């Protein structure tokens, strides 16, 4: 399982609208340069660069220098880890609710 620290880092990276949209744009599996990504937003190249660094640190994208370009692509492992974290919490909840439910049924059972 992914650690709490890693999970919160991943969620923090996804918790910005611009970064979330960058991730969504990269979900077509293709790599993009910083300039190319910047053209999608009303932001400076440097601002986008900073966002990409945050995503990279969280393990959500990977960077590759190709010629004079820095190309970024999605690292699906990061997202999978985050999903699994949420699934774990949800399962805990479901389980607890199930126990509660059976407890209620047992108590309301007049047998």
Partner DNA sequence: GCAAAGCGCAACCCTTTGGTTGCTTTTATC
Partner DNA sequence: GATAAAAGCAACCAAAGGGTTGCGCTTTGC
Residues near DNA (CB under 7 A) = 12, 16, 18, 33-36, 42-47, 49-51, 54, 63, 65-71
Cβ partners under 8 Å of residue 59, min gap 6: 6, 10, 75, 77, 78, 81
102 binding its own copies? (CB under 8 A):
no
**Strand intervals (E) in the chain:** 32-33, 61-66, 69-74
| From the list DNA, its own copies, none, partner contacted by residue 107 (C-beta under 5 to 8 A by kind) | none
Helix or strand holding residue 18 (H, E): helix 17-25
Residues in touch with its own copies (CB under 8 A): 4-5, 7-17, 19-21, 23-24, 27-30, 74, 76, 79-80, 82-83, 86-87, 89-90, 92-94, 96-97, 100
């Amino acid at each position: 399982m992914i650690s709490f620290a890693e999970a919160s880092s991943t969620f923090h990276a996804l918790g910005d609208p611009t970064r979330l949209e960058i991730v969504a744009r990269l979900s077509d599996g293709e790599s993009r340069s910083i300039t190319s990504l910047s053209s999608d937003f009303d932001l400076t190249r440097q601002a986008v660069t900073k966002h990409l660094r945050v995503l990279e640190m969280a393990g959500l994208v990977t960077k590759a220098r190709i010629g004079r370009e820095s190309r970024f692509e999605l690292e699906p492992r990061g997202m999978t880890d985050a999903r699994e974290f949420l699934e774990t919490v949800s399962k805990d909840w479901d389980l607890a609710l199930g126990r509660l439910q059976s407890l209620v049924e047992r108590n309301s059972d007049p047998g």
